[in-house]
Amino acid sequence: MMLIKMTLWGLVQHPRRTALILFSVAISVFFMEIFAGMGQGIRTNFFQNILAEGGHGQIRGAGWQDQYDPRSLGSALTQTTDLVDLLRSQPELAYAEPLLEYGSVFITPENYTIVLNTIGVQADTRVFPKVTSGMVSGSFLPTANDHGGSGNAGPGNTSDQAVISRALGDFLNLEVGDLIRLITEDFRGAPRSRTFTIGGMFSTDSREFDTSTVFVPLEAARTMVRIPNGATQIRFTLTDRGLAPGFTEHLAAQVQQHDGSIHHWRDLNEGMLMLVDMTDVFIWVFNLIMMIVAATVITNAILMNVFDRMGEFGTLRAIGMRKAKVFGMVLLEGSFLGVLGSLLGVAIGIPVILYFQEHGLDFGEVSESLGMGSMFNFGFSPARSLADFVAGSLTALLGSLYAGILVFRTSIVDALKD
């Protein structure tokens, strides 16, 4: 009882020493927490942003990957309905949707022109959640029941709607309701022009995407480029993304019969995945270095404390305290500080992670250029926090083990000299 009191009282009596050790443990655990949170966030971000938009897999035109211009319509799918039906007949499929993507010249009433990536989509698309949930004025493309449908109206009718971003609208001085014209080449290279009404404006967290994209109804796009039943890709999601490789392998031959090629997300995002894996390795290495630095700092602080009290330990041993007991005191103190410091580190770390999980951290262009959007959310994982807590406590324990061995090895005579 008195020994425990001696140990803990000592901590109170020497607040600066105690604070130093607590601080070094807490700060180390805190940084391990934060970096783990960042790593978790990168992963989550990848699967949320990239996979939500890119799907678990895609069907593209055969030979798409060898094409010089990725937006060329030369390898567009022409048997889209058959392919979508094929996908939908599979039990693993959750959702499939065709897109028709091509470049076109965008002309405003004031005759500003700009080249945009034109995406023909179904009005009820699920591929662009950031867009459909990010409408800031007007609405996304009208579904068939909202309007009379596109293209059915007589000539000169402006019922075909287009959706652009607020940023582009501001830049080109456009408002909802304005008429614009899109000019493109059809699949044979002949120029085609079509008029659209701005039906709505959106805003996502990626400025690059916002200022380079215009959405039009899928049917209008097909009419423009004169590929009925066409698509440049069919994106699909499965009940579980882990099924994707088997799924694509299973369907490869059948898709080929319809002049298509099927790819899963690992294939499609090879570069990104490598980056994510590299980030993981980076964080792992960083945490390792962090641990080593932390262990050094913590051990140092504990050693300082122990050297400071060497005379006291010498006295205790001289008056009859057994070596093992002195060792135990050093260990008790170290592990107490380790547990307390680690708790403190985790306690400070968690709110910070939760804050950045909620509000995100603006990484600006860096992550935007990777297609992740500039806002970057941390990920909180209780298991990670527990691991960091244990790591911090263990480090302090190891440090005090080392200090305890030093005390153990010092002769009483030498200890008493201090």
Rule CB under 8 A: which residues touch another protein? Answer: 1-3, 6, 9-10, 13, 311-312, 314-323, 325, 411-413, 416
Contacts of 270 (CB under 8 A, 6+ apart): none
What tokens does 171 get? 């830049």
Q: Whose Cβ is closer to another protein: residue 12's or residue 383's?
A: 12
Smallest gap from residue 15 Cβ to another protein (A) = 12
CB 340 to another protein: min, Å: 18
Residue closer to another protein by CB (options 266, 323) is: 323
CB of 412 to another protein, least distance (A): 4
CB of 88 or CB of 325, closer to another protein: 325
Instruction: Enter the tokens of residue 242.
Output: 């882990």
Distance, in Å, from the CA atom of 329 to the CA atom of 326, rounded to the nearest integer, reads 5
SS3 category, 232: coil
Phi, psi of 348 (to 5 degrees): -80, -35
Min dist CB 20 to another protein, Å, is 18
The whole-angstrom separation of Cα 116 and Cα 372 is 20
Cα–Cα distance for residue pair 100/77, rounded to 1 Å: 9
Give min distance, CB of 339 to another protein, in A. Answer: 21
Instruction: Estimate the share of the chain in helix, then strand, then coil, as percent rounded to the nearest 5.
Output: 55, 20, 25
The rounded distance, in Å, linking the Cα atoms of 396 and 58 is 51
Chain centre distance of CA 290: 23
Nearer to another protein, 391 or 415 (CB): 415
CB of 1 to another protein, least distance (A): 8
Q: Nearest 5°: CA angle at 96, between 90 and 97? A: 150
CB 144 within 8 A of CB 123: yes
Q: Measured from the CB atom, is 190 or 318 closer to another protein?
A: 318
Using the minimum distance from each CB to another protein, give the nearer residue, 63 or 311. 311
